[in-house]
Amino acid sequence: MKTLIKHIAILAAIFTISSFAAEKVYMAPIGTTNIHSDYGIAAMKLMKTYIEDDGRFILVEGSAQDSVSIENQETVKNKAVAKGCSKYIIAEFTRLGENVILSFKLYSTAQEAPIWTDRLKAANPDDFDPIIQRVARNIGTNEKATTDQDIYNVTENETKLPKRKKVNSYFGVGIGGMVPLSPVVDMAPGLVLFGMYDTQTLLIGLDANLWGMGNDVRYDYADIGISIYYPFGRKFIAPYVGGGLNLSGVDFNTDVTHEYTDSKWDSSISQYKTTTKTTTDTYSYSSSGVGVFGGAGVMFNRASSIALFLEVKYFVNFYKLEQPVDRVSEDEWYEYSYHEQKLPKKSSKLFQGFMFDLKFGYGF
């Protein structure tokens, strides 16, 4: 029992300390011009909720009984001091034509000039909520709500701009390559086709990689994979990490030197003369199976109609590729060529390595 009481006392102390750590800020009744005053009252309620969710300030709401006027800054400051606040907010909502201009100023009771200001445009009352969220998150910091890049908290005015169309599905194409680390380190360039769905908290992808385009490429590789990535933040440039599963197939081509017998008619001795020579041929080995991969990337221009993805992944496929010895006998090559026998090989490892790509996506 004593232990329980002790734990409760500690939790109460922590809560009390955290409460005192947040600064008290007084907000005068919002000034409204050409719009109903109820919008100002509702906006102040939202402001209190979002500011206190952020945890840096405790908002003390002003009311008509405070008898303050935002046109008279001194009366607002005095009321803030009387309520034990070190800062105060003056906000004005002014309707001009189809739009409402929302102005916010944060003052310290120790000085006359504002320490933080911002002004945003709302196309309709539905825009008030995202604007107030962003103001509450940025007020009193070095950032402005106007430059807040929360792509899932935008106003109707901002969605009219091509830069800020809200999209969450992408299809596109990319270029890149594969660099296997076993059995032979080599570069296999190619193309990737992809789809990506952005749930705001996760990126779910479907990719088809086609590696092995070009001359003298040892690997001809194709796969289809599903992936899940976790994006960091909600801004237009979003790094992400994750992984997935794939189903793949590969043809591995490598050069093998072998002996062969060459017979030519020698007129000087009136018979065929046999000599042993060497040549180089291509050994091909095919395999397929499932695999896993993990990696990271960066998404540029997230939630817009055109996005760019830069990715690097490490893959491990659960099958091995046989790499023959560099040189075999004539008989061994004959058995391989005519009787489909395997060549003597070096030790095999799981087929694995790196993939990288730059992808261009169209969103809708």
Residue 321's pLDDT is: 87
Which residues face 100 on adjacent strands? 95, 122
E strands present in the chain: 23-27, 31-33, 57-61, 87-96, 99-108, 116-122, 169-182, 188-198, 203-211, 219-231, 237-266, 271-300, 306-320, 327-328, 350-363
Residue 18's pLDDT is: 45
Which residues face 361 on adjacent strands? 172, 307
Burial class (CB in 10 A: 0-12, 13-18, 19+), 329: exposed
Tokens 């009787």 correspond to 339
Per-block average pLDDT, block size 10, for the chain (364 residues)?
A: 55 47 88 90 92 89 87 91 93 90 92 91 87 89 74 58 62 95 90 93 94 85 96 87 96 84 74 79 88 96 89 95 81 78 76 95 88
Residue 47's pLDDT is: 92
Residue 279's pLDDT is: 85
Residue 316's pLDDT is: 96
Residue 155's pLDDT is: 63
User: Amino acid identity, residue 45?
Assistant: K
In the chain the domains, ranked by start, together with CATH numbers, are 2-160 (3.40.50.10070), 169-363 (2.40.160.20)
User: Amino acid identity, residue 331?
Assistant: D
- The pTM assigned to this predicted structure is 0.58
Residue 322's pLDDT is: 82
User: Amino acid identity, residue 108?
Assistant: S
Residue 19's pLDDT is: 45
